[in-house]
Amino acid sequence: MTPANRRTADFSVIAAIHHPLRRRLLDLLHVDGPATATRLAEATGELVGNISHHLKVLAAAGVIEEAPELAKNRRERWWRVATTAEYSWSFADADAGGDPAGELVAATAEEENLAHRAAKVRQWFDRRHEYDEPWIRAAYSTERWLSLTPERLDELSTRLEDVIREYADDPSDGDDARKVFLFAHAVPARP
């Protein structure tokens, strides 16, 4: 079962969004809003031509789109997260149907997801001294061992996504509001 706020992604989409630089570009577009290749190059330290190439790959996958209304002239190209990217993408090895290439894409994407998420937590550990005490106290981490069937794990996933969507749809504002990176994993495991 795929929850309502998740869409099963084609493996070409998964391959496109799980390149480290493209993932960073998506993060920048999600957090900072629309941007040009030049602005994204400045933010990442990459060459504009390289950024343009990766933006075209993301656009071909349908996860970003041009924002022509923001351009000051015909040469300027602005990019934004596509409205189809409002949802999280769902994929699993099982979606590959035994296709070795699809299984490789899924496995590589899962590795990239783990590295990306761990890097965000490490970034917090390295920079938390820059935050006030309320932020340090509010930062959250949890883990639990649960006994679940696949159906109940789907239910848990859906309920968590519903709560997260509530906060995404009603963001905090004010001087003390900050972007918060949230992730959770729930996978069968052994101690």
Report the number of distinct structural domains present in the chain.
1
Cα dihedral across residues 67, 61, 115, 7: positive or negative:
positive
**The pLDDT value given to residue 3:** 46
**The pLDDT value given to residue 88:** 58
**167 in any annotated domain:** no
Report residue 70's pLDDT band, with 50, 70 and 90 as the boundaries: very high
50 touches 94 (CB < 8 A)? no
Segments forming the whole domain that contains residue 77: 6-130
96 touches 11 (CB < 8 A)? yes
CATH number for the domain spanning 100: value is 1.10.10.10
**137 in any annotated domain:** no
**158 in any annotated domain:** no
Which amino acid makes up residue 51?
I
**Percentage of the chain modeled with pLDDT above 70:** 90
Residue whose C-alpha is closest to residue 26's, from 101, 92, 85:
85
**98 in any annotated domain:** yes
Residue 62 DSSP class: T
Bridge-based pairing state of the strands 78-81 and 35-36:
antiparallel
38-53: per-residue pLDDT in tens?
Answer: 999 999 999 999 999 9
187: number of Cβ within 10 Å: 6
Supply the pTM of this predicted model: 0.77
Higher model confidence: residue 190 or residue 124?
Answer: 124
**164 in any annotated domain:** no
